[in-house]
Structure 1
Amino acid sequence: MTLREVYQLGKKQAQSGEIGAYCTDFDVLCLFEHCFGRDRQALIVHGAERASRPQMETFFSLLKKKAAGEPLQYLLGSWGFMDMELAVGPGVLIPREDTIPLVLETVQRLKNFSAPVILDLCAGTGAVGLGVARELPDAKVICVELSPLALPYLERNLSRYGEGRVRAVKGDVLNGPDGLSLPLVDAVVSNPPYICTGELPGLQKEVRQEPRLALDGGPDGLSFYRAITNNWLGLLKPGGVAAVEIGNGQENAVADLLKTAGVSQITFSQDITGAIRVVIGNKNVCL
């Protein structure tokens, strides 16, 4: 078969639903590029070339997995976030563009800080910590992550993009920083689990493939925000920045938790859909 015939057959299988219900034309194109190294433009020029059998077998195998509900990002092995291509796979939360406002708002608040030290809690792939570090060339970032499945992806991404300024620490955010020998910091930032436990079964099938540890925010979705405000903001210097990503409708509850922990100048920021996605403030200089 030619490259064009392989691509068209993949689209036909996806559109007909004969291999499953969770595969779109976009998925087909991404997997085709991944397997054959040809994007849509190259396919126009080189579509008459013969496809190798190993590449064909890999392509159709991945299509079936995607159609069965496996996340596209896991099948590709990496996913773009800002200007980075982050390693991802089973066991780590997939970086999403919803999180970019968290990075940008944190950077904005830290722009007048000299050589800030930033603590990224529930770091996952390191998307937030790395994003902030790349926008602030004199910053140092400590990424705290518990999952033994997520840590290898985090370390791989830090090795590629961290420039020696971002390091990983294994720690449980719910249990606090005791025993981790962490310094005082200029910012605490986090995209923690924030989905209510009872809502997890109703998530899209692909999202349910992501680690429960990175999704489950407790009965009311606020367990990690309580842990952050009660146990981690003690490491935040006066005037330092506290910034978190939130779920839909959580802004007031999270803002109240931050206020109780001595954070003021609190503002909300939206994602590209217009939903409030970030709560950010500064720790009071005098309590």
Structure 2
Amino acid sequence: MPRITPKTLLKAYRINPLLPLLLPECRTIDQAKIEYKWLSQELPLKKKNYNNIRLLKACQLRFRHYPLQYILKTQPFGNIIINCKPGVLIPRWETEEWCLKLISNVKIINDLKVLDLCTGTGCIPILLAHSLISYQKNTNFKGQLIGVDVSPIAIDLAKENSRQLASNIDGTSLSSVLQFIQGDILNQNNIINKNAHFDIITCNPPYIHNFIRAASVRCYEPKLALYGNLIFYQNLIDKWINRTDSFIYEVGDMNQVQFLYQKLKTLNSKDTWKVGFAKDSNDQVRCVYGYKSNNTRLPMNHIFEKFGQILC
């Protein structure tokens, strides 16, 4: 990454003395001005001098690559606002993108059952529940969504996010269709009722297996939610594949897609699985997904028809 020149630092300082503190993360003056505007608008306004101190401290934190979402304590995700806190992975736009695509394909299903593993802030099941209830406000959504995470900090935050949004929905209560459970999916059995079966399992697992370049992620976000490579894709095969009719797992590269594809090809099962991958707006492979082509409860072919590219 190229160094920021003294000329750029001086130009930023002349615009606003705090802008140079934002440049290590923002890289350009224009982006630094946008971020400063966000900070000045979203930090609580009290006395003028007090607010200036808050802005200074926020900019100093950003100079040390501290995540913006941990400073502002929120992150937009779809049409909702998700609370963020240190110790819990910050929701990404890439996750938001495929989640919104899924919602557009399932929004008319009145009794959808979804399990979200490695749920973190709860952003995926909360946005799904919020969108389905809002879209079906006159039909009384009867589905069930469950989020699971090993971290008690994450589960507490997911519950907080759910409670915050519950008051904004007319009709069906978010709490009646959405549940969060703390559990270690790699080492615990029967976290979920053994008879429960799901239409879709979603997951944004820890999948990084190499060096993280972004200092804000590497230094401040929880390693528990970042590093994992193939272990959670194997966990899907070992513990969950027989309990769902489809899945969407976020990935970091095509190798992880191929790993899961090969595992499902050799799986001894009466079900016929279709497996595919989807790219994000930056043309990066972002998801591996699969569904039972012989499923009769829901039209899986229609749900995943334009989700990505089928491998088999």
For the criterion TM > 0.5, the same-fold answer is yes
1:256 to partner: Cα distance: 2.4
Instruction: Find the counterpart in structure 1 of residue 226 from structure 2.
Output: 215
Structure 1 residues 179, 78: CA separation in 2 closer, same or farther (over 3 Å shift)? closer
Work out the percentage of aligned pairs sharing the same amino acid: 26
Cα pair 1:20 1:68 within 8 Å, conserved: no
Other-structure match for 2:282 = 273
Question: Given the two structures, how large is their TM-score scaled by the length of structure 1?
Answer: 0.80
Q: Does 1:247 align with 2:243?
A: no
In the TM superposition, what is the alpha-carbon distance from 1:36 to its structure 2 partner?
5.8
**For 1:238-263, what per-residue CA distance to the aligned partner results, in whole angstroms no more than 9, with x for missing partners?**
xx221111112232223223444556
Tell me, yes or no, if structure 1 residue 147 matches structure 2 residue 151: yes
- Corresponding position: 1:205 with 2:208: no
Deviation at 1:110, TM superposition (A): 4.0
Q: From the superposition, tell whether residues 263 and 10 of structure 1 become closer, same or farther in structure 2 (CA, over 3 Å).
A: farther
What is the number of residues matched between the two proteins?
Answer: 257
Select which of 202, 206, 229 maps to 1:189.
202
* Match of residue 70 from structure 2: 74
Displacement over 6 Å in runs of 4+:
7-10
Among candidates 256, 259, 277, match of residue 262 of structure 2: 256
The amino acid across from 1:153 in the alignment is L
Q: Aligned runs of 1:1-287 on 2, under 5 Å?
A: 11-15=16-20, 17=21, 21-22=24-25, 24-35=32-43, 52-107=48-103, 110=106, 113-137=109-133, 138=141, 139-161=143-165, 163-164=174-175, 165-181=177-193, 183-196=196-209, 199-200=210-211, 202-208=212-218, 209-217=220-228, 221-236=229-244, 240-249=245-254, 250-261=256-267, 264-283=273-292, 285=294
Contact 1:70/1:206 (8 A) holds in 2: yes
Mind listing any 5+ residue stretches in structure 1 that lack a counterpart? 1-6, 38-49
Q: How large is the Cα RMSD of the aligned pairs?
A: 2.7
Match for 1:107: what amino acid? I
Unaligned runs of 5+ in 2: 1-11, 27-31, 134-140, 167-173, 296-312
Distance 1:26 1:68 in 2: 18
1:133 CA drift (Å): 1.9
CA contact (8 A) 2:83 2:121 kept: yes
Q: Is the 8 A contact 2:78 2:100 kept in 1?
A: no
Using the alignment, how far apart are the partners of 1:36 and 1:157 within structure 2?
A: 20
Q: 1:259 to 1:172 in 2, by over 3 A?
A: farther
